[in-house]
Amino acid sequence: MNIVVCVKQTVDLQQVRIRKETRQPVLENIPLTLGAIDKNALEEAVRLREKTGGKVFLVSVGPENLEETIKEGLAMGADEAILVTSPELDGTESARAALLLAGAIKQMENFDLILLGEGSADNYSGQVGPRLAEILDLPQITYAKSLEVDGRKVRAVRSLEDFLEEVEAELPVLISVVSEINEARIPAVTQILRAGRKPKKILKPADISLKIAEGRSVETLSNLAPVQERKGILFKEGLKELPGLVQALKEEGVGRK
């Protein structure tokens, strides 16, 4: 079974700092990585391949440095990568990204399953998966927290806030997963060293046969952290002031359903 995993390059959110004066994130000189939920999708693909055989292909869109970041996914167990790179694709919007991903996937001879995270780590719009399914004319399953493949059928349990739903579809199908589906592996040093020798196909937007509009249809006006007001109440007496701390937390609504 050939599995395509769509991943996105993002900044390492654990290292993002916020400017106190302006509430703007500081994104300069922050390491790049693959999105957290994308790693869950990749982990699930590798587990399925270990059960059913076949290959796992990474497909991604981004600037030229994407080729270096994608090694992380190859080290985690992907077999090959297909990348669409160009300077103007840094932070490309969902509509254009879906078209470019679809164009790259169409260059493959065959695939059985497309996996991706329910949303990207940076803007979390959740649009790429549904758009990609529409372009490729595929059925889609969203918010999958578990998957099981049986022949040419896949069964998934969807996590829908206050209830679970079990669904079934024929392959090929596109599935977006939630982070609870698994715990993504951390590659060993030897796997990281071997990742650089795995096959990579590099495409440019001009190589994609689909019609892709130039420029952006969505403009980001601002990107600000939420306001966090702290009262600065100090409890210096340790356990002696525990009742007061509990009461203060209750007044703030902590534990209230």
Is the model's pLDDT at 59 over the cut of 80? yes
Q: What is the DSSP letter of 44?
A: H
Predicted confidence (pLDDT) per residue in 89-100, tens digit: 887 888 899 999
Domains of the chain: 2-207 (3.40.50.620)
pLDDT greater at residue 203 or residue 227:
203
pLDDT tier for residue 114 given thresholds of 50, 70 and 90: very high
pLDDT tier for residue 238 given thresholds of 50, 70 and 90: low
pLDDT greater at residue 20 or residue 37:
37
Is the model's pLDDT at 22 over the cut of 60? yes
> How many of the other CB atoms lie within 10 Å of CB of 248?
14
Question: What integer pLDDT is reported at residue 226 of this predicted model?
Answer: 72
Question: What integer pLDDT is reported at residue 257 of this predicted model?
Answer: 54
The rounded distance, in Å, linking the Cα atoms of 43 and 94 is: 23
Question: What integer pLDDT is reported at residue 49 of this predicted model?
Answer: 96
Question: What integer pLDDT is reported at residue 243 of this predicted model?
Answer: 76
Amino acid identity, residue 54?
Answer: G
The whole-number average pLDDT for the span 49-72 is 94
The rounded distance, in Å, linking the Cα atoms of 121 and 123 is: 6
pTM of the shown model: 0.82
Give me the phi and psi of 232, to 5 degrees please: 70, 30
The whole-number average pLDDT for the span 57-66 is 95
**Please, what sign has the CA dihedral across residues 85, 91, 95, 98?**
positive
- Averaged confidence pLDDT in the chain: 87
Asked if 68 contacts 31 with a C-beta cutoff of 8 angstroms, the reply is: no
Question: What integer pLDDT is reported at residue 52 of this predicted model?
Answer: 92
Token representation of residue 191: 């796997």
Q: What is the DSSP letter of 179?
A: G
pLDDT greater at residue 26 or residue 33:
33
Question: What integer pLDDT is reported at residue 85 of this predicted model?
Answer: 94
User: Among 22-31, 36-45, 128-137, 138-147, which stretch is predicted with the lowest mean pLDDT?
Assistant: 22-31
pLDDT tier for residue 245 given thresholds of 50, 70 and 90: confident
The rounded distance, in Å, linking the Cα atoms of 12 and 77 is: 21
Predicted confidence (pLDDT) per residue in 134-175, tens digit: 999 999 999 999 999 999 999 999 998 889 999 999 999 999
Question: What integer pLDDT is reported at residue 119 of this predicted model?
Answer: 85
